[in-house]
């Protein structure tokens, strides 16, 4: 079985664990929207330390700020699908940082279809 590569776009949304959108964690809202848009998949990663616009370092080592750890929501799909999804995040962009990176997806040669 030989793997083949496909071009894709990786969207990473960086936010704080305590950020919310209408009583739902912001990261959960992003995952929900990505799922509703039928993107290939989304994963949320919890950081152990980080800082953002506030310049306040959040870390799991300090009890006082350990509740608002950084989170990253990562979504990989075909570029046109990610770019079509971006307008659905417009109302969230003032609460997080979104980065886009070109990447390649490895697929087994006998796998059906492209990145969905």
Q: Residue 89: which of 30, 41, 26 has the closest Cα? A: 30
Cα within 13 Å of Cα(94), Cβ side: 2
Q: Which domains does the chain have, with CATH numbers?
A: 3-97 (3.30.70.120)
Share of the chain above pLDDT 90, in %: 58
pLDDT digits (tens, 9 = 90+) for 50-94: 776 666 666 666 555 456 788 999 999 999 999 999 999 999 888
- Asked if pLDDT for residue 1 goes beyond 90, the answer is no
Residues 68, 16 contacting (CB under 8 angstroms) = yes
């Amino acid at each position: 079985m030989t793997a083949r590569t496909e071009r894709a776009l990786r969207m990473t949304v960086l936010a704080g664990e305590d950020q919310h959108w209408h009583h739902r964690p912001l990261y959960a809202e992003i995952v929900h929207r990505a799922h509703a848009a039928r993107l290939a998949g989304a994963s949320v990663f919890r950081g152990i330390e980080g800082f953002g616009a506030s310049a306040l370092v959040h870390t799991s080592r300090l009890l006082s700020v350990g509740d608002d750890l950084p989170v990253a929501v990562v979504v990989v799909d075909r570029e046109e699908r990610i770019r079509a999804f971006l307008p659905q995040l417009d109302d969230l962009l003032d609460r997080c940082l979104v980065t886009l990176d070109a990447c390649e997806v490895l697929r087994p040669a006998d796998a059906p279809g492209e990145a969905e």
